Amino acid sequence: MSLLFLCLSTFLPTFSAEGVDAVAAYPEIHIEAEHLPNLNVARCGHTTILTGSEPLVVGGHTTGFVPTPTAEYYHNGQWHLLTTVYTHDEGFAIPMRNGQVLIAGGHEQHLGIGQIFAFELYDPQTHTFDGYGCLDKKRTWAECLEMDSGKVIISGNWYAHDGIECYQGTRQCMNVKDVSCARTLPYIFRTGRDDAIIFGGIDEYGEPFDTIVIDRLKGDAFTLPFFEQWKPLRHLLKTEHRSADSFIGDEATGQYDYLMAVCDEQGQVAIARVHNGQFSILPTVCPIPTISQSDSIQYFTTVIIDRQAQRGYIVGNGESNKRFYVLAVDYAHNPAPLTLYYTDPLENVGLQTPILTAEGNLLIAGGFADNNFTPESSAVLLHVSPNSLTATAFSPLWLLIGVLGLVAIGMVFALHRRKKRAGNSVPPVAAETAETEETAETAETADFTSTYAVNEILIQRIEALMEQERVFLRNDLKVLDVAEALHTSSRTVSECIKAQRGYTFTRFVNGYRIEYAKQLMRNQSDTKMITIALNSGFTNETSFFRTFKALVGNTPSEWMASIN
């Protein structure tokens, strides 16, 4: 048994929380940072995007704060260096519906001085660049967003005039309208098929706004009470937002929803949901963690969405321990469960806005660790995809290895006993009988060991599903749902839980629900019991009270009194 856990500990996610109480708030899971081959050019101030399934880094400046007229794409396990028409140090880029990539803006000189008009188009099929045209205004640190019609809205600037302009396939971008205030790296969110809002947290000199004013592509500027308490999270690296990466809506139904990171005056981080231009705080199971591993977390991205997994990611780093932290928000649930992933401390790895790869993981390429003059060439892949974690932790290969290993241990143990008996003086008939019994015992031992190994691994998978995905919060959860998620049968799941934990499926799931309810009652003492019950996965208050009494030994009110 100890050997089994020794093997499993290498592949199963580890939780820093002590027991279900802490896991109920949010699990902390250690992940490996996979080092890919380094970039050909160390750079920061560049843009990283995904073109089809190929990551592309473009522009930026290299050692000495010198703009580099290069780009690199990742294919077949290596970075391929390309030459751009212009330099785009702290410019912007966007993959468009027509398959091309618009790359524009940047600094005119070394050391981040000035801005440029130039923009070019990149063709991912031929890996070629075309010096195509001219912006309406010289820009750097701008943002852009493609509308349903295919036109690209552009706004934002650094130490220069701002405004709203658009690219519509011609060589000259067209001015759309002035803005109420100049912004650096603004957010641009669609509110309809041909309308959008533009706002931000810092002005053209990098200073925070006291009042957040929202410009509308079609209509007058306005303010919202929401921003009296919450402000857009000010990213210390001034990294791009890539508003399209935060989209969680549905264009077909006219639902233009986004997620973004915000914070209040006390530094508490939260997730805002933007629905057709209206802002609200996304309910989460607990406050967004800003401290972990005995260090504070400095988030430096907004929310990056994996629409297939219905998850959003915010990436941060330790203030002093050089870890990467990735907070996963399962936004489709109410309240949204949180998972905090963390790496070991990493040396010589840059900070840069990551991209979501085609496999659902996060790639951070280049960036700076200490200052703008000495960028890094590192490329790190953070395995946060639920599919990636499951495949790593519970692949059929490791299941087979575990089973065969335990079968072998059982057979060796039985053979050892057989040799011990053979060493004694036994009459021939008795020896033959003993050999027959020993053969049966060996087979029985191997069969028991094999079953035990399968059950041990399966119970770990079931518990990981409960703790990571929090499926117990579904009040209609059935054993069939768990079985289908783990690609096995309902009977196998029920028998495994009974054999390994001694509970029925219902009792097993209710245990998680009760521990989760306890956590809510500790953190939200003013919340009504019916709300606690429903948020913990129970269908009604009566069922919650009955189950709580049965498992804990007293009522929720009595339990609350006992801990106060």
Length of the chain: 564
Beta strands 28-30; 338-342: pairing state: parallel
Query: d(Cα 296, Cα 319) in Å, to the nearest integer?
Result: 6
Spatial CB neighbours of 441, under 8 Å, sequence gap ≥ 6:
414, 417
Query: d(Cα 183, Cα 52) in Å, to the nearest integer?
Result: 31
Query: d(Cα 221, Cα 208) in Å, to the nearest integer?
Result: 18
pLDDT of 19 over the 70 cut? no
Which band of pLDDT confidence, cut at 50, 70 and 90, is reported for residue 228? very high
What pLDDT score does 538 carry?
93
What pLDDT score does 564 carry?
72
What is the tens place of the pLDDT at every residue in 395-417? Answer: 343 344 444 444 444 444 444 44
What pLDDT score does 386 carry?
79
Angle between helices 428-464 and 490-501 (to 10 degrees): 100
Contact 467, 519 (CB under 8 A): no
Which band of pLDDT confidence, cut at 50, 70 and 90, is reported for residue 453? low
3-state secondary structure of 563: helix
Mean pLDDT, rounded, of the chain: 83
Q: Burial of 274 by CB count in 10 Å (0-12 exposed, 13-18 middle, 19+ buried)?
A: buried
Spatial CB neighbours of 48, under 8 Å, sequence gap ≥ 6:
55, 56, 57, 352, 353, 354, 355, 363, 365, 366
* Structural domain spans, the chain: 32-383
Cα dihedral: 90, 95, 96, 99 (round 10): 140
Contact 27, 15 (CB under 8 A): yes
CATH superfamily of 32-383: Galactose oxidase/kelch, beta-propeller (2.130.10.80)
Dihedral sign computed on CA atoms, order 322, 323, 328, 329: negative
Contact 171, 134 (CB under 8 A): yes
**What tokens appear for 391 in the block?**
């495949």
Query: d(Cα 287, Cα 266) in Å, to the nearest integer?
Result: 13
pTM attached to this predicted model: 0.67
What is the tens place of the pLDDT at every residue in 261-287? Answer: 999 988 899 999 999 889 999 999 889
What is the tens place of the pLDDT at every residue in 459-496? Answer: 888 988 888 788 999 989 999 999 888 878 899 999 99
Residue in the structure block whose two tokens are 């607990």: 286
DSSP symbols for 176-242:
EE--SS--SS-EEEEEETTEEEEE-SB-TTSPBPSS--BEESSS--B--THHHH-EE---TT-----
The CB-based long-range contact list for 499-505 (8 Å cut-off, 24+ gap) reads 499/455, 500/455, 500/456, 500/459, 501/459, 505/479
